Structure formats: C-alpha cells, structure tokens
C-alpha cells in the first residue's frame, strides 16, 4: 500500500494549525532532523522538537496552514502552503517543506518561508 502524501500533508498541516505538539511529534521519526528559519542549525529527535514546538506555539498567535500543492519525491514529498496569521497587522506567509520519509514517518523536514504583504 502506498502512502497518500496529499492526505499526510493535509493532516500534518492541520496539526500545525491546531498547535498540537504531541500530534505533530507523532508524525516524526524518533531520530528526525528538523530545520526552519528559527533553527537553521537544526534539531534532532523528538525531545528537541517537542521543546522547540512548545516554545514556538507559546510565542505565536493563532495561525492556519493551508496546503497549496504537494509533489512526490524519491523518498518523500515537497509541499507548498499558505499560512494566515490571526493578527490584522501581521502579513501572511507562504512556505515550502522538503520532507524525507522513513517507514511512513518524517525523518527530515526542511522549512523555507517568506512573508507576504498584508492584503490591501
């Protein structure tokens, strides 16, 4: 049975929107590597990821991540998304995740983001 990456990506982004740390950590392999603009040096493993997400979610307003497009790669997928920030003064974000899967779990996640101007 092949993995439905569109479904996986949608469920994963929903966990980001819900700021559900434990549900998110469950998507990742125990020895995962995670990179984003806040941690360009990367994090390794569930404990480090859990601590990072807990701090990040405590410091950010509500956000909604909506998948735009998902492409299969040889060992995972790339997914582009939009993030709407629940703050009238905040711009939206557009992002892209590179995801490498191992046994159905995220072994590597690299996040690339840029800010969009607020809607006029």
Candidate CATH numbers 3.10.450.50, 3.10.20.30, 2.40.30.40, 3.40.50.1970; the one for domain 5-114: 3.10.450.50
Distance CA(32)–CA(102), nearest Å, equals: 9
Give me the sheet containing 39-44, strands edge to edge: 39-44, 28-36, 105-115, 93-102, 76-85, 63-73
- The parts of the chain modelled with pLDDT lower than 70 are 1-2, 88, 90, 118-120
Q: Where are the domains of the chain?
A: 5-114
Rounded to two decimals, what is the model's pTM?
0.91
What is the pLDDT, as a whole number, of residue 9?
97
């Amino acid at each position: 049975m092949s993995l439905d990456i569109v479904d996986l990506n949608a469920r994963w982004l929903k966990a980001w929107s819900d700021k559900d740390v434990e549900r998110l950590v469950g998507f990742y392999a125990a020895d995962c590597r995670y990179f984003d603009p806040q941690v360009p040096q990367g994090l390794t493993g569930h404990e480090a990821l859990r601590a990072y997400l807990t701090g990040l979610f405590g410091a950010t307003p509500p956000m909604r991540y909506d998948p735009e497009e998902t492409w299969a790669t040889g060992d995972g997928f790339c997914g582009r998304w939009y993030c709407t920030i629940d703050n009238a003064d905040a711009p939206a974000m557009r992002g892209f995740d590179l995801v490498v899967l191992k046994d159905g779990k995220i072994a590597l996640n690299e996040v690339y983001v840029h800010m969009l101007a607020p809607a006029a």
